[in-house]
Structure 1
Amino acid sequence: MSPFTGSATRTPDWRHLRLAVDDGVATVTLARPDKLNALTFGAYADLRDLLAELSRDKSVRALVLGGEGRGFCSGGDVEEIIGATLAMDTAQLLDFNRMTGQVVRAVRECPFPVIAAV
């Protein structure tokens, strides 16, 4: 990967998750314990963007992905994603599927191990 990514520096604050980096280990915590860390459109977008940032950071050697509270992640939020997709047209569904696919692809292509703290 070229060192000249044209990218901005790492985002310091995330709306839908928490990030801590200590001694080369990035810990990402889904932060919706009241909903068992169910994913929203914003959470997917944050994960997509964060994974891109971390993958360019040569100091990160591993990623631990976990959830706050008693659940790791209960999937897509029934009200904020599942219900919303029922009202989407084909183009909107395609955009959403592309975004979720980008998250999955980013995890698979990380240049470091990704560990699920379930």
Structure 2
Amino acid sequence: MNLHNIVSGAIGTINPFVEVTLKRSTGYATAADGKRTPDYSESGETVQVQALSAAELQQLDGLNIQGVLRKAYLNGDWRGVYRRDNQGGDLFVFALADSVPQSLQGTTWKVVQVMETWADWCALAIQLQMD
């Protein structure tokens, strides 16, 4: 049962879902000189961005994850670093659009921690990246 889908309509009236381009890491391309460049597959998703609770901020601080942090809820099984499958480093890219809150427009955020993961949805800690 996808509880996220059940409550998302009610929550969305207060904190709307926004469109984002999710860049899922697919590994690296290695150049002849040995330089590695990350590769991504892109998909359009809708996410809900919220502030982190004090306990969540404390948890991330204990992991030495600092900076501008938010929590993103979305459908699917997304991950932070998952070394066994060579995954990690997924990015959220918010558009310059009226439907996106001003504070998120044109910004890129990296998944730094999975806060909750269920069969159909997850909550991720994301960190603002300085492009």
Say yes or no: TM over 0.5: no
- Which structure has more strand as a fraction of its residues? 2
- Which structure has more helix as a fraction of its residues? 1
Question: For this structure pair, what is the TM-score category when the shorter chain's length is used for normalisation?
Answer: under 0.3
